[in-house]
């Protein structure tokens, strides 16, 4: 496992992440020669560290199903798109 100082990691973070993604080898980050963190590739695309992104059509369908599953409620008619997005993320 390669070791780099925290300043070098900070300065070259984007390149470092690109390299880790490509090679898969973790990097040990040190401060004054002592290990403080390890940077490694996520185990999979469905990692809990990465939020799942839905296509607009899938998100709209999810909202449609949510609304249809609810009993008639006049308050739902007044919800905005932002309100619905917030509900879906909860």
Hey, what are 48's tokens? 């809990």
Burial code of 1-16, b = ≥16 C-beta within 10 A, e = fewer? Answer: eeebeeeebeeeeeeb
pLDDT at residue 53, as a whole number = 74
**52 token code pair:** 């799942």
* Residues of the chain below pLDDT 70: 43-52, 76
2-39 maps to which CATH number? 3.40.1620
Nearest-CA neighbor of 36 among 14, 4, 8? 4
Q: What is the pLDDT of residues 60-75, one digit of tens each?
A: 888 888 878 877 777 7
Every domain of the chain and the residues it spans: 2-39, 56-89
């Amino acid at each position: 496992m390669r070791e780099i100082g925290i300043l070098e990691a900070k300065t070259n973070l984007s390149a470092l992440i690109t390299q880790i993604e490509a090679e898969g080898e973790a990097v040990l980050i040190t401060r004054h020669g002592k290990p403080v963190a390890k940077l490694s590739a996520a185990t999979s695309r469905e990692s809990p560290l990465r939020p799942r992104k839905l296509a607009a059509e899938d998100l709209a369908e999810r909202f449609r199903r949510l609304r249809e599953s609810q009993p008639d409620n006049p308050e739902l008619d007044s919800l905005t798109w932002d309100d619905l997005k917030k509900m879906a993320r909860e």
